[in-house]
Structure 1
Amino acid sequence: MNVLVYNGPGTTPGSVRHTVDTLRYLLEPHYAVSTVSSKVLLQEPWQAKTSALVFPGGADLPFVKECRPVIPAIKDFVSKKGGRYIGFCAGGYFGSSRVEFCQGDPLMEVTGNRDLKLFPGTARGPAFDGFKYKSDVGARASRLLVNNGTEFSCYYNGGSVFVDADSCDNVEVLAHYSESIDVPFSDTNSNTKPAAVVLCSVGKGKALLTGPHPEFIPKLLEKGEHDSDFPAHLLDELKKDDTKRLEFMHYILSKLGLKTRSNYANYHIPSLTPLLMVNNPYNNAVKSNDFEERVVENLDDVIVAGNHLEFSAEEDSFELFKGISDSFKEASTHLDKNDPKNSVKTIVIPNDDEFASMGNVAPNFNFQKYFMTLKESNNIGSILMYGEVVTSTSTLLNVNRTLLSSLPENRILHVGDVQLAGRGRGGNSWVNPKGVCASTAVISIPLVSPATNQNISISFVQYLAMLAYCKAITSHGSGFEDLPVRIKWPNDLYIMNPDYYYSKNLQLLGKKFDHKLVPLTDIEPAYVKVAGLLVNTHIFGDRYTLLLGCGLNVSSTGPTTSLDRWVDILNEERKKQNFSVLPHVEKEKLLADYMNYLEDILKTFINRGVCYLLPEYYNYWLHSNQIVTLSDHGNTRAMITGITEDYGLLIAKELAPGSDYSFTGSVFNLQPDGNTFDIFKGLIAKKA
């Protein structure tokens, strides 16, 4: 499930960064924490896949203006669907029934009712005098008295007090300000302390609202992620209580009903590791040294610095080393404890005689298994660029075009065990934990087919890449063909929900592609997402260069399910039938098979066309004969019958009124990037 952090008008970059980093630290891998815009909240089917929606610090009025169309969906998400809302500071004001801010100040006063009404009373502030917009001059370390008896200092800048919160039936005050505040905190002459953090029960869901910023991380503040007005003395006090801050965040998130990381107290966000660029040792035509030569040719500012080259691309700086024994330790030192976002990226090319010792520097990836599975003749995937901890396998190449143009053509597969800044189709970002296989294949396709002289429509590539991955999964070994993987249009991979499997007492052994096991009306409870594909496109000369980024949950315990979980389920059936048990998925073999199938499929596509591939694609996808509602076409009911062979558009045939089988003759062709498809509601809506 997702935890979505609003990032748009009203937020500040610092508040978003602190919010995302703290939530990832505490909640992953149980939840995928990502940022979203109001456009995503308005147009995408986010509610069914989301556990919590978060509004960080900033300013409440822009929230009101930007998110007014989304407020009914947020209220519905919390009260009717049992979702959670978290509002830090400005998000706390936004989630209350009324805001009274800087009353009497003609330049800063904001007073008025709010529509969310998750807290039934008034959020009044600033609790402490001295606040200025876009400034830390009024920031302080406020003391919070937690309702479990603990007390700690917390970053504060302009937040509210929740008036008479102790008197509200549906509100539990989780923390009070222990100091005197500068605005009235009770309109009923209550003798309680001022409420700083409240937990509200709203219908089936809950809302957690704060006045201060318990999500703010002292180490980020120490790195200078604040303005010049930041009071220097604050850091020491905040750092001193940082352990208590994390304990408090763990406490209030648990009270909200979210599952937190069990080892959060000892968890440390890992540093980046060097990228190993390894060519296929069984194919003499593949040379990773070509990369070094092309870097020198393509870039003007290459510097020879001792035993390595230094160069910069559009967004990142790089260091290129040669030889593991000579330079891997040094390359690692350049990354250790540095901010991954701004850190130099180091690349190490092993010497030819170092392949057998790769396990010494990359113990979590078996290069020999990968290259032994890869077909010797394969171009795609014949050079592996592997990092144990990376920023994003997709973004690194996409935003550094000169680096991308310097890579050996149609050969690179970039793999990371842990992604610190993975990217999704809607621009969302998240951390991929261990167990999620993150990869980006760099492929090259001509603009025109050399066999047919027809222009090539690259919109099909996202479909074909998912087909290749499905074939790799279901052919991983005898028995893997029973794994219930399915493709959701246009580029997500879904698998049956284990809860659905057990609730229906299904048997999958020997069933392969039996779609009748799950009625189309049961798609919502039956399937959950296990992978997503992101395609970025560049043109160099007469060829497309496409980045096929995919994160596949092989063995991680969250946030939905994994391939290995399904191997265990199939093995329960196999044991009952006295069949041999299936081994868990080997990511190296899976990736190599993915590259093998991808190369064969793309050759067929380029030389013969997509018509030879669509029948097999339909075997795997979820939507054959699914009945949907086209909300942008007068809520027309239609049946999905396939994909057009020219531009890969979804074919939806209008159904006659009252019928699930008869057609009117009207046909709608829908674009993948122009529409959003909520399989859980059978709804297709046009994007703005």
Structure 2
Amino acid sequence: MNVLVYNGAGTSPESVKNTIETLRLLLEPYYAVSPVTARVLETEPWTTKTSVVVFPGGADLPYVRDCKKVIPKIRDFVSKDGGLYIGICAGGYFGSGRCEFAKGDPCYEVTGPRDLKLFPGIARGPAFSGFKYNKEDGAKTVKLKVNGIENLQEAYSYYNGGALFVDAEKYPNVEVLAEYEDSVDVPFSDDPNAANQDATAAAAAIVLSSFGKGKALFIGPHPEISAKNLKPIGEEWYDNKVIKLLEEHDTSRFQLMKEVLRKAGLKCNSTESNPGNPDLTPIFVATKDNMADLREFEENLRSNSAKTDDSGDAYHLTGENDSFDIYEGFSHAEEASLKLQDVHPVDAVKQIIFPANEETVPGKPLISHFDMQKFFAHLNPSSKLGSILLYGDVVTSTSMILDQNKTLLAALPENRAIHVGTIQLLGRGRGGNTWVNPRGVLASTTAINLPAVSPSSGERTPIVFVQYLAMLAYCKAIRTFAPGYEDLPVKIKWPNDLYAMKPQYYYNNNMKLLGKEFPNGLIPLDDVDPAFVKVSGLLVTTNFVSGKYSLLLGCGVNVTNEAPTTSLATWVKILNNERDALGMPHLPPIDHEILLAKYLNELDTLLKKFLMYGPSPILPEYYKYWMHSDQIVQLLDHNSVRAKLVGITEDYGLLIAKELIAGSNTHFTGNVYHLQPDGNTFDIFKGLISKKA
């Protein structure tokens, strides 16, 4: 089931990031945690696939404005479907019956009723004075008294502008899970018969409200944020005692967050503490047989850099978004690593190390989780694609570091480079969403350049097809990885996601896959919903420079990481169980390095064919691996007519849907609709296609 974290107008980027990271740390593999916009909540049929909707910290008024049409849907999701709403800080104000923020302050006051009303009373704040937007002036570490949680009587949490929940204990459907122990600066009771000075009275900081069949969890402070993840905002920062106190009590903070989620009915994993994100590691540049291009890349960087010592081995490059130290010789690895210790990944000066003349690739002491020799051994020697490898054990984002630093991107030799990271701390997805990509996900970004006009036909290059080619290349690399891999139940979801069958669907239906080569039609189209889950996605970033397209193809594949869906390795095990029963030899394990090399080999072949002949000879291959042949859908923006998907246009790569005669699945009216992959949302689970806002 899904946990959807609102990431729209008003949200704080840091709050969204920390909320997603913490929920993933605590809830995976039982839930898939994803960011969503107001438009998605309004138009997509998300309620049947979702357990929780979360509104994180930020500003309440933009939530009210942009989510007006969503509020009835959220109320029904909680009250009728038994879902859970979580409101943190601004999300707590938004979800209550009334918001009273900075009442009487002409600069900050926001007061008024709220329509969500999952907590019936008033969310009043800031509970502690000193708050300023986009600053940390009023930030503090607060002590909380914890109620009704075994082995946890008190905890500490970061706080900045959050609410207290007025008279929460008086509502029969509300349980107070934690109270502020420090004296608050606004009244926490409006009962004229109650004395706020009563030694037994306290301000509610975290409350759990029952609402119909579901529940709502309201959190005034920020227990989702660890001390390590706090970073400066603006010119000046708050006193370091805020961080120090939070560091000292991080165990109780983490336990509090975990236990309130459990109290709200969620299943948490066995993680007992927040390990924090690892430090970045140096990016090593290597090649096997393309040293001339590697030196060209190095020289391009040096020509835009300043020398940092007299040895000639170190240079400093100031990019458009990041700064880089550039070395020649793997002997600089320790020096470079020390510069990255205990530095926030956003602020760190990235370290790039080229081989010295006598060196080839860095060995195991320098890189722990990727075998460069194995990668280059399986890369097609007749292809240059991927022949320049940039690799780091821990990186920010293989995509963003190239896209946001044009000087670095421009220095790459054309159609040569791929950037790979075992762990991405700022993995990038559609809509600017970021997350931590864990070990077990094969994350890479390939840099390619394509001409605006085909050299063979003289016609414009239909660049939209590149996303189809890239995902087709990965699908083919997986299904041809070794003999027997053709049975892996992997399909392309239009336009550029990769889906695999759910293991549970396989077991529930007592299926056998050996010898099937997983064709279209094996799974009924009506069963697409329970049958498939996403295992890979593709992000294509495009620029037009000097008459050519410069593209970054960012992709992450769940090779051995099973959370939150499934992995390719899981399916290898399942097929090997079938093979055991028949006395057949096992399929070999799927290696990241070999799979990546095979992907690049397939992509190189497809790109050459595409530039020579256009999409015509490639589309039949795409249809072989996609999951939409003859699928019947509803077109929401065309009076909800029923239509059958029959293919993709060869000019602009549009989805072709033929309208069906009412009551028929085989006869057409003659109306044909063309749908854009970047201008529509396509819910394969519900058969709905609609325009994006």
TM-score, normalization by structure 1: 0.92
Q: Indicate how the Cα distance of structure 1 residues 549 and 79 shifts in structure 2: closer, same or farther if over 3 A, else same.
A: farther
| 1:471/1:204 CA distance change after superposition, 3 Å | farther
After TM superposition, the structure 1 stretch with the greater mean CA deviation from structure 2, 666-675 or 240-249, is: 240-249
- CA distance in 1 between counterparts of 2:384 and 2:46 reads 38
CA contact (8 A) 1:137 1:231 kept: no
Q: Confirm or deny that 1:150 pairs with 2:147.
A: no
In the aligned structure 2, how far is the partner of 1:137 from the partner of 1:597? 54
Residue identity in the other structure for 1:378: S
Q: For residue 354 of structure 1, give the secondary structure of its aligned residue in structure 2.
A: coil
Matches for 1:90-239 after TM superposition, within 5 Å: 90-103=90-103, 109-128=109-128, 131=131, 136-147=136-147, 148=149, 149-181=152-184, 182-185=186-189, 187=191, 193-221=202-230, 223-225=231-233, 228=236, 230=238, 234-239=242-247
Go from structure 1 to structure 2 and tell me whether the alpha carbon gap of 1:146 and 1:100 turns closer, same or farther (over 3 Å shift). Answer: same
- The 2-side partners of 1:663 and 1:295 are apart by 58
Residue 303 in structure 1 maps to residue 300 in structure 2: no
Output the CA distance in 2 between the equivalents of 1:364 and 1:3. Answer: 30
Residue matched to 1:316? 322
Are residues 1:587 and 2:592 paired? yes
Shift in CA distance, 9/227, structure 1 to aligned 2, threshold 3 Å: farther
Structure 2 distance, partners of 1:463, 1:136, is: 45
Distance 1:319 1:36, change over 3 A: farther
2:580 counterpart SS class:
helix
Decide which of 294, 297, 314 is 1:291's aligned counterpart.
297
Name the amino acid aligned to 1:9: A
Aligned length: 682
Q: Secondary structure at the match of 1:506?
A: coil
Aligned-residue RMSD, C-alpha: 2.6
Shift of 1:640: 0.5
1:446 aligns with 2:480: no
Number of the residue aligned with 2:435: 430
* Residue of structure 2 in register with 1:38 after alignment: 38
Matches within 5 A, 1:404-553: 404-553=409-558
Q: Does residue 1:277 correspond to 2:285, yes or no?
A: yes
- Larger CA deviation: 263-272 vs 612-621: 263-272
CA positional deviation for 1:6: 2.9
Any idea what SS the aligned residue of 1:508 has? coil
> Residue 648 in 1 paired to residue 628 in 2?
no
- Structure 2: how far apart are the matches of 1:350 and 1:2? 45
Deviates more, 1:141-150 or 1:545-554: 141-150
1:661 matches 2:669:
no
| SS of corresponding position for 1:654 | strand
Q: Distance in 2 between matches of 1:49 and 1:403?
A: 41
Aligned counterpart in structure 2 of residue 605 of structure 1, from 607, 610, 617 = 610
Distance 2:47 2:403 in 1: 30
Distance in 2, Cα, partners of 1:60 & 1:227: 25
Q: Which residue of 2 aligns with 1:249?
A: 257
Deviation at 1:404, TM superposition (A): 0.9
* TM-aligned CA distance change 1:486 to 1:83, over 3 Å: farther
Letter in 2 for 1:442: A
The question of whether the paired residues in 2 share the 8 Å contact of 1:485 and 1:494 is answered with yes
Partner secondary structure for residue 521 of structure 2: helix
Instruction: Kindly indicate whether residue 627 of structure 2 is the aligned counterpart of residue 622 of structure 1.
Output: yes
Percent of counterpart pairs with the same letter? 54
1:354 pairs with 2:359:
yes
Using the TM superposition, name which of 668-677 and 69-78 deviates more.
69-78
CA contact (8 A) 1:303 1:311 kept: no
Q: CA deviation at 1:163?
A: 3.3
The CA deviation string for residues 132-161 of structure 1, in whole angstroms up to 9 with x for no partner, is 555554444433111125113333344333
The AA in structure 1 aligned to 2:158 is Y
Q: Which amino acid aligns with 2:246?
A: L
| Distance in 2 (alpha carbons) for counterparts of 1:261 and 1:267 | 14
- Structure 1, residues 491-525: CA drift from partner, whole Å, max 9, x if none? 10001111111111111111113322211111111
Asked if structure 2 preserves the Cα contact closer than 8 Å seen for 1:164 and 1:188, the reply is no
Paired residue secondary structure (1:65)? helix
Amino acid at match of 2:300: R
Cα distance in structure 2, aligned partners of 1:465 and 1:641 = 21
Aligned to 2:398, the other structure's residue is in SS state coil
Question: 8 Å contact 1:136–1:231 — kept in the other structure?
Answer: no
Of the candidates 347, 363, 367, which is equivalent to residue 342 of structure 1? 347
- Code of the residue aligned with 1:533 in structure 2: it is L
Asked which structure has the greater RCO (Cα within 8 Å, sep 6+), the reply is 1
Equivalent position SS for 1:647: coil
CA contact (8 A) 1:652 1:668 kept: yes
Which deviations, in whole Å up to 9, do the C-alpha atoms of 1:514-564 show, x marking residues without a partner?
Answer: 322211111111100000001111223232221111000001120100001
Per-residue Cα deviation, 1:609-641 (whole angstroms, up to 9, x for no partner): 211111111111111111111111111111110
Shift, 1:204, TM fit: 4.8
Residues 134 and 233 in structure 2, CA contact (< 8 A), matched pair in contact too: no
Distance of 2:414 and 2:561 partners within structure 1: 33
SS at 1:549 equivalent = strand
Kindly tell me: are residues 238 and 337 of structure 1, through their superposed partners in 2, closer, same or farther at Cα, counting changes over 3 Å? closer
Q: In structure 2, how many angstroms separate the alpha carbons of the residues matched to 1:64 and 1:467?
A: 42
**Which residue is equivalent to 2:53?**
53
Are residues 1:398 and 2:403 paired? yes
Deviation at 1:9, TM superposition (A): 3.3
1:682 aligned to which of 669, 676, 687? 687
2:256 partner SS: helix
Shift of 1:17: 5.0
Instruction: Identify the residue that residue 567 of structure 1 maps to in structure 2.
Output: 572
Structure 1 77/442 Cα, relative in aligned 2: closer, same or farther at 3 Å? Answer: farther
Secondary structure, aligned partner of 1:673: coil
Q: What is the identity, as a one-letter code, of the residue corresponding to 1:194? A: A
8 Å CA contact 2:683, 2:689 repeated in 1:
yes
* Matches for 1:5-20 after TM superposition, within 5 Å: 5-20=5-20
Q: Which residue in the other structure is 2:197 paired with? A: none
Task: Specify the SS of the correspondent of 2:340.
Answer: coil
CA–CA distance in 1 between the matches of 2:315 and 2:133? Answer: 45
In 2, distance between residues paired with 1:687 and 1:469? 27
Which whole-Å CA distance do the structure 2 matches of 1:466 and 1:123 have between them? 47
Q: Tell me: CA distance 1:220–1:359, structure 2 relative to 1, closer, same or farther (3 Å).
A: closer
Deviation at 1:197, TM superposition (A): 0.5
Q: Distance in 1 between matches of 2:326 and 2:46?
A: 41
Q: Provide the rounded CA distance (Å) in 1 between the counterparts of 2:240 and 2:376.
A: 54
Q: Aligned equivalents of 1:6 and 1:356: distance in 2? A: 43
Gaps of 5+ in 1: none
